[in-house]
Amino acid sequence: MKILIVGGGIAGLRAALTASRFAEVSVLTKGKIGETATEKAQGGIAAAIDQIKDSTEYHFEDTLVAGAGLCDERAVRVLVEEGVDRVRELIEMGAQFDRAETEAGGGFALALEGAHKHRRILHAGDSTGLEIEKTLAGRVMAEKKVKIFQQTVSLDFLMENGRAAGVIALDLNSDTFKTFPADAVILATGGVCQIYLYTTNPLFATGDGVAMAYRAGCVLTDMEFVQFHPTSLVHSKEFEDLIALPQFLISEAVRGEGGRLLNQKGERFVPELAPRDVVSRAIFDEMRKEKTDHVFLSLSSLDAEQIINRFPLIYKTCRERGLDITRDPIPVAPAAHYFMGGIKTDIEAKTNIPGIFAAGECASTGVHGANRLASNSLLEGLVFGHRAALAAKSQKTNNNSQTIQKFKDPKPKLKPNEIQRYKLIIKTAMWNGTGIIRSKESLTSVLHKLEMIEKDLSFDPNSAEEIEVKNMLLVARLITRAALDREESRGAHYRSDFPLPDDLNWKRHLVYKVSR
């Protein structure tokens, strides 16, 4: 059988390794292999591997609390229990996580992050995602069982009799559209947060998989829940040209090791390890009150050697931008970071459309609820990437066609500067109106702006940039619609006009599906 995986991050690569045991597997990657959000993940991966001081039950409880009443308990059980085995497999593949030199036998140096009650975060310095990506990609390459099509931008599903039969994609190497037939397609396309002006996400996180799935008839859920990371680096004036690029993340692990958030007066104003939505709103309020674009993250309680050894990437990056974090407080502000919503799946990663599966950030399995617990994202990719591959095994069809060319010489309709202008309008509107604090007025204004753009973009895309901007527009509209519909505040979704949670009316999931 043929299994097609769209996306080459942690969920996609884990799915590829599992599926390659029983199927012919192809992976489509938007960029080059390894260019994913996984690579950028700093903090670590959460797993209760210390069965003396921690347990999967504790991890389960912490995840439910962070999720603010909307977690699917069955999915969380799967995450925390199977996650231990998936992480151990990763270690057996050669992933090098930091060890605690003081412990007999060289146990892992487990970190603490926000809303975790126990140390359970495995990390590789502050480049954990890169270590995991290298490990999984290295195993895929070594086994030579998976075909990888790099720089291939997926456009839409091939549909036959109400089921997915593959994907239409733009091959950037030949500038042609091609079809990739398959018995099952696993979407592992990552996040959506490039729809925001300030985000830690890489440039290609434009919601492609979510948009594709919606157009194919998949149900989407929890679209209103976007997590804003409290601490991204705020650039000094000398580095203003970097503002257009993804914000550099200052890992939550910095606060876990003792970093303190301070206002302009040098005062602490929020518990640093509170859930991310709480810390982000507190920073946002402090910035607004003090009319500034940042607060400070101070590492003064840590010695210089400890900082440099534990956070080498953060230290190096800040030094390149004029900051010595062993002495200088770091100017930080919130940025859009992670999408809890997406393609609705069951615990086997199945969607409502036969032949379509989803795993990782593009999927909404129910493990995160209204607010993701720190470092559960990499774990989700491992666990549900593996599960998606096993579930896809049952999708064998009679589809024996080969990859064929679909169209030649696509002609873009928009110039690059026009695309950038539309992207900037979307990103600015979303940041200002569908951001950390929302209201009926702000959300209605965003929808109006997006509807105006939609009229200008009512054509079939013929370039990677056109595909991206149309996907961004669709996802932005769906997120804003859901945020307007949910008239309460819960987890990462905060409405200034409905500032309290309302369990009686809103302790439920909102779902969206294209009208046929």
Residues with catalytic roles? 276
Separation in Å, CA 68 to CA 60, 254, 298, 372: 13, 24, 29, 9
What 3-state class would DSSP assign to 188? coil
3-state helix, strand, coil in the chain (%, to 5): 40, 20, 40
- Residue given tokens 């947060």 in the structure block: 193
Contact 379, 46 (CB under 8 A): yes
Instruction: Please state, in angstroms and as integers, the Cα–Cα distance from residue 13 to each residue in 17, 356, 442, 443, 514, following that order.
Output: 6, 17, 39, 37, 29
Amino acid (one-letter) located at 99: R
- 491 backbone φψ class: left, alpha, beta (φ>0; ψ -120 to 50): left
* Residue 340 burial (10 A CB sphere; 0-12, 13-18, 19+): buried
Q: Which amino acid is at 6?
A: V
- The residues, any chain, with a CB within 8 Å of residue 47's CB and separated by 6 or more, are 59, 80, 83, 84, 86, 87, 120, 122, 379
Nearest Cα residue to 380 out of 61, 9, 19: 9
Distance CA 390, CA 386 (A): 7
CA distances from 69 to 186, 230, 369, 503, 508 (A): 28, 22, 7, 9, 9
- Cα separation values, 19 from 102, 173, 280, 292, 495, Å: 40, 26, 39, 50, 43
Tokens of 356: 């379509």
CA nearest 44: which of 102, 83, 93?
A: 83
